[in-house]
A and B are shown apart, each in its own frame.
Chain A
Amino acid sequence: MSEQLPDRFPRGWFVLGHQRDFEVETTKTIYAFNRKLLVTRNSNNSISLDPGQGESWPTLEINQMVMCWHDVESGEPDYQPEKIDACYSDEWSDYGMASFLVKNNCRELIDNMADKGHFGPVHQAPFEGFWNEAKGHTYTQEMTADSPILGRDLFSKATYEGPAYMTTYMSALQEGQKVESRLLVSHLPLTLTSFEINFGVMVKKIPGMTAEEEHEYVQGYIDANNFAFGQDVAIWENKIYIADPVVCDGDGPLHKLRKWYGQFLVNRNDIPKGLDMEKREF
């Protein structure tokens, strides 16, 4: 990838918002992909999307999200995000959502998957183990840590399915209690130099918690994660893109990750071979 901005928005599934925010017989206007999207929840509960310019884009409702398929070649979707049982379980809260705008190209967000070195300085969260794996349209990061901020015995597994939909499973011990949570990190590009992060948190309910306590608990998690994102955003908004960074022995597989991401920025016939990477510790 060069220092130049990409010539397009990536191909893949993009989250338009949480299902509950699309009410029956209502049309929402969403600005994304340098255009205006009109999203309607029909009386039969289906979703239709008018992306303008006489085009028609596939939509999908899965894991509590309304998603659209973006592809400059107008091809059919070639993957689908996996169903997450917790999104349909009474044992888990619903996703609490937050969103914010970042003034940079959306590729900046992806680097975090392999960016082992930034957790300490940016998030004050040193970790113990760090693994990456690339497989087809998915990229996975696993991490273990033992931190006074994030919790003891922390384990997290984050997977991108395509360029813009990332889900994380996280477990940790807080005051001796096992806490399980799921994060959603999705984004919608507005222009080639701005994107909106739509971010979600759900927690596994702790038996005996009242609805009010649960709400407070989820909100606490959202606030903590918003704070962590704020730390990233401060960096993202005043940085340049280094296409070929000088990396050190402690950095993760940044070059590999960017090549994997590059598959969504070229026509399908131009996707290079050899983008997969077996699970490896870094």
Chain B
Amino acid sequence: MSDKLTSYELPIQKDPNDSHLRDGWHRVAASNEIKNGEAIQVDDFATQLVVWRGNDGNLRALDLYCKHMGAALSCGEVDGNGIRCPFHSWKWNDEGNCEDIPYAKRIPPKAVTRSWQVKEESDDIMVLLKKV
């Protein structure tokens, strides 16, 4: 038996281009799993996602981990139609742009993350994979 201690695997944001999934729509959840103003973490897509339903009832999806300091956006809060990171409250919109940083004068132009197309079809939530 080894004397070494057990190591935990840490979370990663997988490269979707390395996924075995094919291009096209993939089911990630059932419609009733995300109510208005709620967000979930998706681990079984080509990469990790946050999928949320804005106050207008529409679904949106981004890479799970915040491009600022790496926290999981699914642990944050839906604010209007955007989502706020739990770590520093950066607010992201459905296009992957940072819209608000409560403690900054200016939003850095590089504050952009990857967004994903989402649709609802017969009570399923689907996300579009398009590898590059």
Contacts and interface: CB of A to CB of B under 8 A. Distances in A.
A240 B75 CA distance: 13
Given A193-B7, A240-B10, A246-B67, A121 B72 contact: no
Given A121-B88, A193-B8, A194-B8, A250 B104 contact: yes
Given A34-B5, A121-B88, A248-B104, A240 B67 contact: no
A54 interface: no
B68 to A, nearest CB: 6
Contact of A35 (B3, B12, B101, B103): B3
A239 B105 contact: no
A interface bracket (residues with beta carbon within 8 Å of B): 35 or more
B111 A241 contact: no
Nearest to A105: B10
A278 interface: no
A103 B89 contact: no
B106 A248 contact: yes
A54 to B, nearest CB: 13
Interface residues of B, number: 34
A246 B75 CA distance: 20
Given A240-B65, A242-B68, 19 more contacts: A31-B5, A118-B88, A121-B85, A121-B88, A121-B89, A122-B86, A191-B7, A191-B8, A192-B7, A239-B70, A239-B71, A240-B70, A242-B70, A246-B67, A246-B108, A246-B110, A248-B108, A249-B105, A250-B101
Interface of B: 3-13, 65, 67-72, 75, 85-89, 101-108, 110-111
Interface of A: 5, 31, 34-36, 52, 103-105, 111, 115-118, 120-122, 190-194, 234-235, 238-242, 245-251
